[in-house]
Amino acid sequence: MDSIKKTTLYSNLEVLVVDNNSADGSVGLVREKYPGVKIIELKENVGFAAANNLAAKEAKGDLYVFLNNDTIVNKDWLSELVKSVTENDKDVAIAQSLLLLGQNGEIDSSGDFIDRFGRPYSSKLRNAPNGREILSARAASMIVRKEVFWKLGRFEEDFFASFEDVHLGWKAWIAGYKVVLASNSIVYHFAGQTVKHLKNTMNFHSMKNQVCIILLNFEFPLSIKNLFSLLPLYRPSIISKSIKDEKEGKKNQQQLNFDNLDTMAPAMYSNPVLLKDVLKTSFWICSHSMTLYKKYKQIKQMRILSTNYLVKMGLITDNRYEK
């Protein structure tokens, strides 16, 4: 909030803070130090997607900017984001800031892409050009045109948290809009400061949402083919095991964190997956099959660009990493 106050602000800038039923005094702090900020105080944790949707519904502007609570912005971050969706190409509907790690200034994300199976990965190009086309923008710091946000169906609230931004960006391309990187907009991201307290919950939602974006955004039967092609790689038959940490003398749970697929080594598939999350995800997909089918039909109806076209554009790739 202090860094936002130092931003080169617009006179009509509106700042909203959504409190997802926190218990750390955040609401009192904001009321005391930032009296001009509108607070949306929730009685339960409704998740990242729904909380941002509530803020978007309350916001009065024509442009929505979503910014994580674990970020620090530079003074020109906002003006550069606005430029990216208001100047030059009118098809640009979404843009992401260049995200640097707050801990050391290393690159965090210069935009997200997906591989041919539908697995998201983050670009790590620090010198990525301003306006570079990316598949999706990280919601840690992104801007989207209001009318497009609602036309695309907002953030998917069934996701709770993780991959809702990938889903939105992917749908934008499908519908004929563009997503770009605003590399002149610099934001420092202290990644994972909130979700680290929800590790078990996040593992389930990350796995569930990974399956959902494959089922919803690829054309049928490509979605089914890609999903079954991934099953042997995830090795769900291996149950999480305890390993001894020689340095700490502790036992740690070794498990695959689906929310950080882009940062893992190529040997990631040798890590075991929690069987309970696989079963829970399978049950959720089956019990929500009709809802998923309706959402798939909605995306199919808005489709302008095919998967093959997005492959030719380099937005869907054979890669798993880009540095």
pLDDT in tens, 63-109: 999 999 999 999 999 999 999 999 978 999 999 999 999 989 999 99
What single DSSP character describes residue 132?
Answer: -
CA atoms of 17 and 275, how far apart (whole Å): 37
pLDDT tens readout for residues 171-192: 999 999 999 999 999 999 998 6
Per-residue confidence band for 202, with pLDDT thresholds at 50, 70 and 90:
confident
The number of C-alpha atoms within 13 Å of 52 and in the hemisphere containing its C-beta is: 30
- On average, the pLDDT of the chain sits at 87
Task: Write 227-234 long-range contacts (CB < 8 A, 24+).
Answer: 229/117, 230/117, 230/119, 233/269, 234/269, 234/273, 234/278
Give me the pLDDT at residue 240, please.
42
- In the numeric block, which tokens belong to residue 267? 């040997």
Give the position of tokens 């674990």.
70
Whether the model clears a pTM of 0.85, i.e. scores above it, the answer is yes
What single DSSP character describes residue 39?
Answer: E
Q: Is the pLDDT of residue 239 over 60?
A: no
CA atoms of 218 and 227, how far apart (whole Å): 10
pLDDT tens readout for residues 117-132: 999 999 999 899 999 9
Residue 2's H or E segment, with its range, is helix 2-5
Q: Which residues contact 318 (CB under 8 A, 6 or more apart)?
A: 115, 116
pLDDT tens readout for residues 26-47: 999 999 999 989 999 999 999 9
Per-residue confidence band for 197, with pLDDT thresholds at 50, 70 and 90:
low
